[in-house]
Homo-oligomer: A and B are copies of this chain.
């Protein structure tokens, strides 16, 4: 039966299966055998293609980030004007895709993994930088030099809202999350309009 050119197909199947299994179990405590079985092959073959379980996890994480990136790009392509761009980023961040069990499991566990696996941390940083840059593109025309601060706050708010929606029992309310984020934006932008230029908000 051995057809050639199996490698990409097998790898893709394993990545998908890895994400599904992590979502099913809710932790990184999944066995290579489970993953391989779901992907329709022996565990030996999984090792053959990925070398180690950790490599599988990292490939899965890359895949999740790629999906998210594609979703953002897709939404941005239809946007015109800064406000529309911001809305697109929010829509993508709170898309139904990101609330599927697999995606949730992946994100939560990748945060844990990022604590100790340098490559995972690197990937997470890539995601955050991209999100930040997308937000900035929409914010700069609206907020000028306050854009940086707003982007940081909004980025954190997005993560926090996601976390809460995901951990609460019952179905997540994506619209409410988006509304809260938009509300943050509106009030910050109104504030800038009233105050005129930037004013140093000194903490402490």
Q: Tell me if A's interface is mostly helix, strand, loop or mixed.
A: helix
Q: Which chain B positions have C-beta within 8 A of A159?
A: 159-160, 163-164
Chain A contact residue count (CB 8 A cutoff): 52
A117 nearest CB neighbor, chain B only: B26
- Is the CB of A84 closer than 8 A to any CB of chain B? no
Note all chain B residues with C-beta closer than 8 A to A124.
Answer: 167
Q: Is the CB of B111 within 8 A of A163?
A: yes
Closest B residue, CB atoms, query A177? B156
**B26 engages A167 (CB within 8 Å):** no
Q: Find out whether the CB atom of A104 lies under 8 angstroms from the CB atom of B115.
A: yes
A204 at the interface (CB under 8 A from B): yes
Given contacts A183-B201, A187-B191, contact A157 B163 (CB under 8 A): no
A residues contacting B by CB (< 8 A) are 25-29, 104-105, 108-109, 111-116, 121, 124-125, 128, 149, 152-153, 155-161, 163-164, 167-169, 175-176, 178-180, 182-184, 186-188, 190-191, 194, 201-204
